[in-house]
Amino acid sequence: QSNKAWSLTRPVDDAVSLLTRGGRLSCKFRLSGALTNNQFGLGIYLYTDVALPDVVAMTGTGNPFLMSFFTQTTDGKLNLMHHKKAGNTKLGEFGNYSNDWQTLELVFTAGSATVTPKLNGVAGPAFQVIKDSLT
């Protein structure tokens, strides 16, 4: 539905396997309506309270957040943001805001906390997922 918030929840049996075996999450989404600065669009969150294997080094304190990402409009652009209690970080840009479909892909590297975002098919710089005390 246009201009309506909705959520999709799916149980995950072994979230840590994204870090140990690697994997990818991909989704298509679009925002509707006129541009509003600092508009929240899509949020993706996944954490685990399971201990991480020694092969996966993750910085920070709190729970391992495998995903804490959201989209936000800033200065006419649609950005992918990394949600962190200590302050959010811009991970990449989809380009100018529009009501067109956007594609987000998060590629997890096996044996690490490294993720490479792909925004509309264009790979951005890799980054590290962290432990955090987000609520």
pLDDT in tens, 86-125: 999 999 999 999 999 999 999 999 999 999 999 999 999 9
In a domain, 18, yes or no: no
Q: What pTM does this model have?
A: 0.89
pLDDT under 70 in the chain at which residues?
A: 1-3
pLDDT at 58 (0 to 100):
92
Domain of residue 59 covers 24-132
In a domain, 3, yes or no: no
Mean pLDDT of the chain: 92
Number of domains present in the structure of the chain: 1
d(CA 75, CA 42): 18
In a domain, 8, yes or no: no
